[in-house]
Amino acid sequence: MLFMDRPAESLDELFDRESEVKMLLESVSRRALTLVLGMRRVGKTSVVRAATRGRLRVYIDARIFEERAYISYDDLLGALRSELRRILPLHRRLGELLGRIRGVSVAGVDVRFEMGRRAPNISELLEAFDQWAGERGERLVLIIDEAQELIKLRGRAILPALGYAYDNLRNIAMVFTGSKAGLLLRFLRLEDPDSPLFGRYVERIDLGPFPPELSVRYLEEGFRQAGVEVGEDLIRKAVEALDGVVGWLAYFGLRALRSPRTALEETLEYATRLAASEFCHFVEYTGSRRYIYVASICRNGARWSEVKRHLQATEGRPITDYEVTKLLSNLVNYGFLEKRGDLYVVADPILRKALEGLRC
């Protein structure tokens, strides 16, 4: 069924993502590192999980760190441990390889990591994954969902391990998703000569919202599968309001199966509330309410000079070019704004609505 309340797990649960799936499968077969990028709720997790189903994979969901100001190395190992405890009952050989690493203990289908200074090195864990995959004649897909959250990691650097895996572990393909593309690229430091990943080729797959005609087809097919008739006028209004974001289209579809008359209103109310909460969390994290005003200026698009002029008029004092650029860059890096030519625009229609009179 197309209308799902969780990410897709198989290809038959996806809708019209054949080209992206093909690109991803080709990339994990040939490339060391693939980035799957796109705004929130366009289906990145669904594409990655559905495309890699049936393959050797280790999946770390870094979204659990989204509301954290920082994460420790032990936190990262904890997320990995949760995934390994799922895998080990089916793959005892991996447990044997992991058990040879200092700082790792394996008992049956359970794995434990030492903490602090005695914690295992990520590079050694990746070597075990590589050997396991090599023995099976397969390629392991290491997926880190919303990998930009690892920029908050404190205590140990993870980039050296990723650089080591890129250069030496030929049986591992890394796939990182990111809804905050600028932040993810800043974390990887691909253009920094001092970065372990400097100069490395990275395959990039961008997922965008559905165009209007595809959104209509998606909703029509979803309602057909469910055996429910919904009027064309309501579908058209939903497509216009939700602007091709598949997560919100699916939510609307599920609502409409029960109460078509109120489905769109309920979807917009819930989505707006969630978008406002996410943005306010960002404002609290940065400690600057200026972001509310800057994003509001850019709701329908604004140039750099317009943002500066409005800010100075509001605050009644001069503002440096550096301050304006930093505010806009952070909003772009965190996925709240897009730069289209010389305009900064709030791309998410739900966030545009949430910014109307927003108070955090």
Chain segment 10-39, per-residue pLDDT in tens = 999 999 999 999 999 999 999 999 999 999
Mean pLDDT of 213-239: 95
Residues carrying CATH 1.10.10.10, the chain:
281-360
What percent of the chain clears pLDDT 70, i.e. is strictly above it? 100
Query: What global pTM score does this model have?
Result: 0.91
* pLDDT, the chain, mean: 95
What are the distances in angstroms from CA 99 to CA 94, 106, 170, 220, 224?
9, 5, 22, 52, 51
Is the pLDDT at 262 greater than 90? The verdict is: yes
Assigned CATH topology for domain 11-81+120-206: Rossmann fold (3.40.50)
Residue 67: pLDDT band by 50, 70, 90 thresholds? confident
pLDDT score of 164: 98
Is the pLDDT at 359 greater than 90? The verdict is: no
pLDDT score of 190: 95
Over residues 130-178, the pLDDT tens digits come to 999 999 999 999 999 999 999 999 989 999 999 999 999 999 999 999 9
Residues carrying CATH 3.40.50.300, the chain:
11-81+120-206
CATH of region 281-360: 1.10.10.10
Residue 357: pLDDT band by 50, 70, 90 thresholds? confident
Residue 108: pLDDT band by 50, 70, 90 thresholds? confident
pLDDT score of 276: 96
Is the pLDDT at 320 greater than 90? The verdict is: yes
pLDDT score of 328: 97
